[in-house]
Amino acid sequence: MSKGTICDTVAALVEYAVANELIGEEERIYSTNLLLDVLKISDYEYTLSDKEIKEKSEDLEELLKEACDHAYENGLIEENSTAYRDLFDTRVMNCLVPRPSTVISTFKEKYNISPREATDYYYKLSTASDYIRSYRIKKDIKWLADTKYGALDITINLSKPEKDPKAIAAAGRAKQSGYPKCLLCMENEGYAGRLDHPARENHRIIPVDICGEKWGFQYSPYVYYNEHCILLNSKHVPMTIHRGAFEKLFDFLRQFPHYMICSNADLPIVGGSILSHEHFQGGRYEFPMARAKVESTFKIKGYEDVEAMIMYWPLSVIRIRSVDPKRLVDLADHILGKWRAYTDEEAFIFAETDGVPHNTITPIARKKGDHYEMDLTLRNNITTEDRPLGVYHPRNEYHHIKKENIGCIEVMGLAILPSRLKTELEILKEYILKGKDIRSDEMIEKHADWVEEFLPKYEGRLNEDSISDIIRYEVGQVFMGVLEDAGVFKCTEEGRRYFKRFTDSL
């Protein structure tokens, strides 16, 4: 890349920052000099006209590509791979992002107008700063799949970069670090990153008070749904579901009533991917579970003023509803205590085996009008010789589509499926339409039993126009089955009898 070209890139990056309100007009020279230092440019003179610079500034992905190309060509990064480039372009963007104190001050000013105005500002900043890589998020594949429980959200996640083999090997050779302790620690703010830990130099965290404790509010860089946010404890303490967790969920809703908020369960298998750090997930999004039908209602002694209902949902969900969030906390704590200790051998529910606890809850909270709601999803992580990954975990027959733990996002009806499916499903379409042997291809042979099971339903209806819709529908049915496997009380006559036996015990 020529000297003039990279200088044009620098000018366009600064123009981008001004246009997206990351920096003010008076910070052009300062930000330009920061970029020149990071890119090791000693002489600066751009060749494009101001109009051309403005046009060039509209494509951030291309600008960062040019910056990384320059870095590789000039020995500023060792390998021309996604891992190395992501570390470098994050450093580039940090030259254009306001300091934490400025972001926090602006957020507070906006919050005094309204919570929504504050989050609008912060979300825009998180995307403009490239902390949320919007151009990658757009590549995610999304669709709705009709099921007997209503439409489920299906996504194939393509925004989380695949790990490069060379980067993995280099990370293995590097000196291991325990700082930050995990991806959710406050110390990630501004961290330069390593090959085994993403760069967060362009990341800013908003401090919030949750039940008198210091917490951090941020967005997920992968945005699995609209304004996907994370609320994280400032201390590195483990996840735990107890009364205090319910109180924290509602304290967040008090401050940000336009968002929903949920927590992963606190036990392995049924918990999320990071159990070592207490955190919740929220956002401005209506999940399929929020639209679920009410199957039946019931009263709980001492809480007759609180609506309680069993939801028609593949997992076992009790929804409680009231205008008073404290009453919901009281009742949620009561239900949790009963569930923690609940055993029903006939239903294969065991509170513990050999002193190891199995019962917990995945809670979801939201505000609708003047009422607060909490969905209490009953979870159990018991394993057997036949089901070593969990009795209430996706069965082996579904692992070709989804085998990971079912966390709170999936519980609410949004599938986060692996990126490999993009290629696999495209190849599968071709094999189905041409009548080729699916078992002959190593990449897609895992799908053979599944296809053989559903294909007869579509005899005479398979063609170029219908195959995509058919595949997407059937993927949705698999995800529905995955969620049903996670349900402790099945949506059958027998399962509902067991469910009622539990609610009667409350």
Render pLDDT for 432-481 as a digit per residue (tens, 0 to 9).
Answer: 999 999 999 999 999 999 999 999 999 989 999 999 999 999 999 999 99
Contacts of 265 (CB under 8 A, 6+ apart): 239, 241, 271, 272, 360, 361, 362, 379, 408
- Both tokens assigned to 22: 């990351």
Picking from 42, 45, 59, 40, the residue whose alpha carbon sits closest to that of residue 7 is 45
How many CB atoms within 10 Å of residue 26? 8
**Span 323-339, mean pLDDT?**
98
**Three-state SS at 265:** strand
Picking from 444, 438, 364, the residue whose alpha carbon sits closest to that of residue 401 is 444
- Both tokens assigned to 374: 């909490």
Please give the single-letter amino acid code of residue 152.
L
| pLDDT computed for residue 168 by the predictor | 46
- pLDDT exceeds cutoff 70 at 397: yes
| pLDDT computed for residue 169 by the predictor | 53
3-state helix, strand and coil shares in percent for the chain, rounded to the nearest 5 = 45, 20, 40
- pLDDT exceeds cutoff 90 at 161: no
Summarised one tens digit per residue, pLDDT across range 30-62 is 999 999 999 999 999 999 999 999 999 999 999
Confidence of residue 124 (pLDDT cuts 50, 70, 90): very high
In whole angstroms, what is the distance from residue 165 CA to residue 175 CA?
18
| pLDDT computed for residue 1 by the predictor | 63
Confidence of residue 159 (pLDDT cuts 50, 70, 90): confident
Q: How far is CA 17 from the centre of its chain?
A: 27
DSSP state of 49: -
In whole angstroms, what is the distance from residue 48 CA to residue 56 CA?
9
Q: What is the CA radius of gyration of the chain?
A: 25
Residue 151: φ, ψ to 5°: -75, 130
In whole angstroms, what is the distance from residue 352 CA to residue 329 CA?
25
- Both tokens assigned to 460: 């005479």
List strand residue ranges (DSSP E) for 225-325, in order: 229-233, 260-262, 279-283, 293-298, 307-312, 317-322
Largest distance between two CA atoms of the chain? 78
pTM of the model: 0.94
